[in-house]
Amino acid sequence: MRIDVLTLFPEMFDGVFSSSILGKAREKGIVSLAAVNFRQFSTDKHSTVDDYPYGGGGGMVLKPEPMFAAVESLVPADGPRPRIILMCPQGETFTQQKAEQLSSEEHLIFVCGHYEGYDERIREHLVTDELSIGDYVLTGGELPAMVVIDSVARLLPGVLGNETSAVTDSFSTGLLEYPHYTRPAVFRDWEVPEVLLSGHHGKIDAWRREQSLLRTFKRRPDLLEQAELTAKERVWLAGLREREERLMEREAQQHVDRAEKE
């Protein structure tokens, strides 16, 4: 896979692209990573990439000319069109499913902006995707691009040492991942669950599935609406919901009783 990033601060990617999993993937030739300063595609003597917005208002807006020229320099005229991804708060929320979709592409171009925003013609006529990593605002698109690139690259064959890791990660199955333990078996009187020491793979798999469901139920119950569950699992989760509702009702009544006594 080839990944190019258009940014005003390419030096931000030096460590990210040369370290850890991404660095190893780059060394193996699994992924090609490059950060390109789109300021070099400006045509005026001041290398201007932004200007005041038409109609007035605060902030500066990235101009279309340098961005279009930068993208066109990375895409052969007769070659396949890559996915061109604009990082912005207004974009589609990035998910594991989106990462899996992007990991099947041969060429990705990320556009990282600064200032007030982008000329709308960049959105309408240049990019293919707009992505956000959450409902908050950052200084620029560089950090979000790093997040997405890391998430996508680790799904490529040969990037991870253990090929099953990406499959069992949280969100890959639609559920949060089960708890993990390693040696020692007892640490400060906290013991590893006995089932994990049993060597019985069937029981271990069942325990992990149950823990995954339980953790998702407690932390991200919204994910259960789309998860693939068996009929038995749905009944079990329904029982958990009933017990939780009864507990909440009991706690609410206790609060009322204490208030009346006071």
Is 154 noted as a catalytic residue in this protein? Answer: yes
Q: Which of 66, 119, 144, 154 is catalytic?
A: 154
Q: Does 179 qualify as catalytic in the annotation?
A: no
Say which of 64, 65, 89, 177 is annotated catalytic: 89
Round to whole Å and give the CA distance between 231 and 222.
18
Three-state SS for the chain is CEEEEEECCHHHHHHHHHCHHHHHHHHHCCCEEEEEEHHHHCCCCCCCCEECCCCCCCCCEECHHHHHHHHHHHCCCCCCCCEEEEEEEEEEECCHHHHHHHCCCCEEEEEECCCCEECHHHHHHCCCEEEECCCCCCCCCHHHHHHHHHHHHCCCCCCCCCCCHHHHCCCCCCCCCCCCCCCCCEECCEECCHHHHCCCHHHHHHHHHHHHHHHHHHHCHHHHHCCCCCHHHHHHHHHHHHHHHHHHHHHHHHHHHHHHHC
The active-site residue, picked from 65, 105, 130, 169, is 169
Between CA 86 and CA 61 the distance in angstroms is 14
10 given a catalytic annotation: no
Of 143, 142, 71, 148, the closest CA to residue 102 belongs to 148
Q: Which of 65, 116, 130, 233 is catalytic?
A: 116
Residue 44 is a catalytic residue: no
The residues carrying an active-site annotation are 89, 116, 154, 169
